[in-house]
Structure 1
Amino acid sequence: MTVLSEVHEAHGATFREVGGRRVVDHYGRSERTHRAVRNVVGVCEFGYGVLVVTGEDRVEYVDNAVSNDVPEDDGHGCYALLLDPDGRVETDMYVYNAGERLLVFTPPQRAEPLATEWSDKTFIQDVDVRLATDDFAVFGVHGPKSTEKIASVLHQASSPEELLSFNRGELGDAGVTVVRTDNLSGEESYDVVCAAEDAQPVFDTLVNRGLNAVPFGYRTWETLTLEAGSPLFDTEIEGRLPNDLGLRNALDFEKGCYVGQEVVSRIENRGHPTQRLVGLTVEARPEPGAAVFAGDEHVGEVTRAVDSPMREAPLALAAVDWELPEAALTVRVDGDGAAAERTALPFVEGSAPSARLPTY
């Protein structure tokens, strides 16, 4: 569950579950909050699962398991995937080299199974994998003024500049790690990581000290990320081929270290995947899984849809056939066909492009 339930309740929060973890859905007036994040800066508590990996062989072990190169130097991280033998995504993750340990951030429901799986496969290697979700709190800071926000409250360190790099410093009396994240909201962004027992003063500092920031929940997060064209694990990524999603930032195509990765490399080498992730502007908001048609031909399905405050229209991401017929697109809404128009991603140009923007 969220580390700060009572604090969020004091801000008027409504809660929901994401990956089995209780998180803030919204604080009310979601459209106003959304615009505040787009125009200035906002703070959200994220419900990551966390693993701590130690031992002399930690970097080699994790590097051999995932789709991207794990950095060998302290202060750097990567976005990576764990693939099944068919090349489909079992989980995505961020892996950070924190000196004598790796910190691995996953969707909350994937942390415990991943810890068990990796622990069972270490064999003779010097690797220890520990589930540490309850030890940490993670706050996302997003918006065009997020760098100014971090600078106004972070002491003993400067804001990191390179994507997925981090610096250690202090917010008030609490030690924190500040990560320059990959802009999934389409805005400049950071994750502030602290010990769970320091969560309350860190959240208070981020919201109320220095440059003020609006607190926001997962409803706003999902709308921001869809406008930015960012696929998310629960709605777009899980169980799909990364080639179909254009997730090039998660892949080193030269690794070929295991069967699933070899499948991904073969798809890359043959020219193009069978599907692609596209943006649609629709006349009425569909539900996830709604069928997409080109004329009378079924060509895909909606993965996620929102009513966009910035475009003032319903928007959707959809997984569709690579080659679409030359016919008008429609999406099923309440059993009827609603007109849809393919729209270039991102839907909204913010202060920084998302690193997950589909690239083919």
Structure 2
Amino acid sequence: MVAYADIPGAVVVDGVLHHLGNPLAEQRALNAGAAIAPLDERTVIAVPGEDRLSWLDSLSSQALAHLAPGESAELLILDPQGHVEHAASVVDDGQTAWLIVDAVDAEGLLAWLRKMRFRLRVDPRDAGGELVVVGGTAAAIAGLDASAPAGVPLVWHDPWPGVAAGGWGYATVDPHPGGQRDWSEALVAPEALDRIVAEAASGDRTLAGSIAVDALRIAAWRPRIGDVDERMLPHEVDWMRTAVHLAKGCYRGQETVAKVHNLGHPPRRLVALQLDGSDSVLPTRGDVVRAGADAVGTVLAAAIHYEEGPIALAIIRRSTPVDADLAVDAEDGPIAAAQEVVVPPEAGATASVPRLPRLGRRVAAP
């Protein structure tokens, strides 16, 4: 058990370090590279074996067959209808593919991977007892003793909001609010985390909690598996930019991904909400978003940002006008919300479909 209790002000819930007394200051320090964050809500799945990359390539939305040692990627596992089931950050060290996943998703993803092994040379396992995850800017993470069992430091650099090879970005805002995002995650041994916590307890290191991490993520419009419902398509939350390769081989859900992107439109769209903070109330995941009296969507995540104030990500119907005034049905009453378009209503339909001339009526034979 990590000794967070030794750190002044530490608030821990279910083993997760939520904050250390001042989440806003923690955000600022984290963003500036002056703090790092133990990511207790993240865990690790290891996939060793000669077939690991081609196997993960065949199962997921991402092109991984030629992933180089130390290179970072992101994958999604979709259901046959193209809905998001699992997500993972991936770094390979030449011998093992290391998947960094949200702990709430790990058991289900690992069970599914084990079912899909067949006779291939892969052996996925729970590596959460071997390694833990610590996040921060690339420079802050570089100072940590990242694990390197095959000689390659296990550090994942978040590609968001860049558009990865084969990806597609729907957000048209320039600059993208995540454009300055600098986020990496290092895999370290549990005893290394114990040393980090001891340094924080003695005042020799600054830590940030999960509340600060999530606030910076929300401000960057960055989706995560905890935002997902059973209907979520990657297009709806702009996940196509980092987690989907549109030109790779067949995988489960690919047909829907291609159809929606090339010929249709995602039925829902992600918006960023600027919330009225006059009552100091934040909505929670699942709270209803309304345009007038009509329920048009739900909140995915909310936070108080150190610069922007109360903010949220929400998923709403594509048909909702982009200039509609919105409100959130929070537990303590409605909260006025101004929407900023992340995924525009016209997203998708990228293919140029030729229009064939109409055939005239045949002339009846005499």
Q: TM-score, normalised by structure 1?
A: 0.77
1:67 correspondence with 2:64: no
1:299 aligns with 2:274: no
1:52 corresponds in structure 2 to 46
Identical aligned residues as a percent: 26
> Residues 90 and 156 of structure 2 are in contact (CA less than 8 Å); yes or no, is this contact kept in structure 1?
no
Does 1:321 pair with 2:314?
A: no
- Return the index of the structure with the highest Cα Rg: 2
Q: Which residue of structure 2 lines up, in the alignment, with residue 356 of structure 1? A: none
Offset of residue 168 of structure 1:
5.3
Match of 2:82 in 1: 87
Q: Which region of structure 1 is more displaced relative to structure 2, 197-206 or 96-105? A: 197-206
Structure 2 CA distance for aligned equivalents of residues 206 and 333 of structure 1: 36
Counterparts in 2 of 1:232 and 1:120: CA distance versus 1, 3 Å: closer
Alpha-carbon distance change, 309 to 236 in structure 1, aligned in 2, over 3 angstroms: farther
Deviations 1:1-52 (A, max 9, x none): xxx62145434321123xxxx2111111222222222344221111322222
Q: For the residues of structure 1 that align with 2:93 and 2:228, how far apart are their CA atoms?
A: 29
Match of 1:277, SS state, is strand
Contact 1:52–1:132 (CA under 8 A) maintained in structure 2: yes
- 1:183 and 1:167 map into 2 onto residues whose CA distance is 23
Offset from partner CA, 1:77-121 (integer Å, 9 cap, x none): 310101111211111001222112211121113323322322232
For 1:233, the equivalent position in structure 2 comes to 225
Q: Deviations over 1:161-184 (max 9, x none)?
A: xxxxx9959xxxxx9533333368
Offset of residue 327 of structure 1: 4.1
**RMSD over aligned Cα, in angstroms?**
3.2
Equivalent position of 2:207 in the other structure: 215
Report the AA paired with residue 244 of structure 1: E
Q: Could you tell me which runs of 5 or more consecutive residues in structure 1 were left unpaired when the two chains were aligned.
A: 156-165, 170-174, 347-358
Report what 2:192 is aligned to. Answer: 198
- Quote how far apart the aligned CAs of 1:237 are: 6.5
- Does 2:337 correspond to 1:340? yes
SS in 2 for 1:103: strand
The residue number in structure 2 matching 1:125 is: 120
Q: In the TM superposition, what is the alpha-carbon distance from 1:277 to its structure 2 partner?
A: 0.6
The answer as to 2:265 corresponding to 1:288 is no
- Whichever residue aligns with residue 38 of structure 2, its letter is E
Matches of 2:263 and 2:88, distance apart in 1:
27
- The answer on whether the counterparts of 2:275 and 2:335 sit within 8 Å (CA) in structure 1 is yes
Question: How many Å separate the matches in 1 of 2:200 and 2:38?
Answer: 11
**Equivalent in the alignment of 1:5:** 2
Question: Would the alpha carbon gap of residues 328 and 118 (structure 1) be closer, same or farther in structure 2, given more than 3 Å must change?
Answer: closer
Q: Which moved more, 1:72-81 or 1:36-45?
A: 36-45
Query: Is the Cα contact below 8 Å between 2:70 and 2:153 reproduced in 1?
Result: no
Residue in 2 that maps onto 1:279: 272
Distance change (3 Å), C-alpha of 1:190 and 1:206: farther
Q: Is the 8 A contact 1:87 1:259 kept in 2?
A: yes
- Counterpart position of 1:352: none
Cα separation, partners in 2 of 1:117 and 1:286, compared to 1, 3 Å: closer
Letter in 2 for 1:180: H
Query: What secondary structure does 1:111 align onto?
Result: helix
The reply on whether 1:310 has 2:307 as its aligned counterpart is yes
Residues 91 and 238 of structure 1 are in contact (CA less than 8 Å); yes or no, is this contact kept in structure 2? no
Asked whether the equivalents of residues 53 and 127 of structure 1 are also in contact (C-alpha less than 8 Å), the reply is yes
Bigger share in strand: 1
Shift of 1:231: 1.8
- Superposed CA offset, 1:315-357 (max 9, x none): 11110111223643222234754322113569xxxxxxxxxxx
Contact (CA 8 Å) 1:7, 1:200: kept in 2 or not? no
Contact 1:300 1:318 in 2 (8 A): yes
2:168 corresponds in structure 1 to none
Rounded Cα–Cα distance in structure 2 between residues aligned with 1:337 and 1:239: 25
Residues 173-184 of structure 1 mapped to structure 2, 5 A cutoff:
177-182=154-159
Q: CA deviation at 1:292?
A: 1.8
Q: Which residue number in structure 2 is paired with residue 247 of structure 1? A: 239
Number of aligned residues: 319
CA contact 2:93–2:154 (8 Å) conserved in 1: no
Is 1:277–1:318's contact at 8 Å kept on the other side of the alignment? Answer: yes
Letter in 1 for 2:135: G
Determine the C-alpha separation between the residues in 1 that align with 2:201 and 2:263: 49
What is the SS of the residue equivalent to 2:106? helix
